[in-house]
């Protein structure tokens, strides 16, 4: 069974680097100096693949009980 990682990093619509924590609504801004490579390294370290980042982004906005979360963790 797959599980979503505790955290992942991505960019918001303004291009700022953000951290999303599993189970929490919204996100945390970083200092803004993270490169795309640093974001990728963080996600690799956390075990967040591209699909997990997309799901966590949606869940942080629409709730952690959305079907995408359940489906991902059942696979």
**pLDDT tens, residue by residue, 7-38:** 999 999 999 999 999 999 999 999 878 899 99
Task: Give the model's pLDDT for residue 1.
Answer: 63
Lowest-confidence segment of 9-18, 27-36, 45-54, 56-65 by average pLDDT: 27-36
Report which of 19, 75, 74 is spatially closest to residue 48, judged by C-alpha positions.
Answer: 19
What global pTM score does this model have?
A: 0.92
Task: Give the model's pLDDT for residue 3.
Answer: 92
Cα 13 to its chain centre, rounded Å, is 14
- What phi and psi values does residue 7 have, to the nearest 5 degrees? -150, 160
What are the domain boundaries of the chain?
7-74
The Cα diameter of the chain in Å comes to 35
């Amino acid at each position: 069974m797959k599980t979503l990682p505790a955290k992942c990093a991505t960019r918001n619509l303004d291009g700022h680097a953000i951290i999303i924590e599993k189970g929490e609504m919204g996100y945390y801004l970083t200092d803004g100096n993270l490169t795309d490579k640093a974001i990728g390294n963080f996600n690799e370290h956390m075990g967040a693949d591209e699909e997990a980042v997309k799901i966590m982004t949606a869940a942080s906005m629409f709730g952690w009980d959305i079907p995408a979360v359940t489906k991902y963790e059942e696979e």
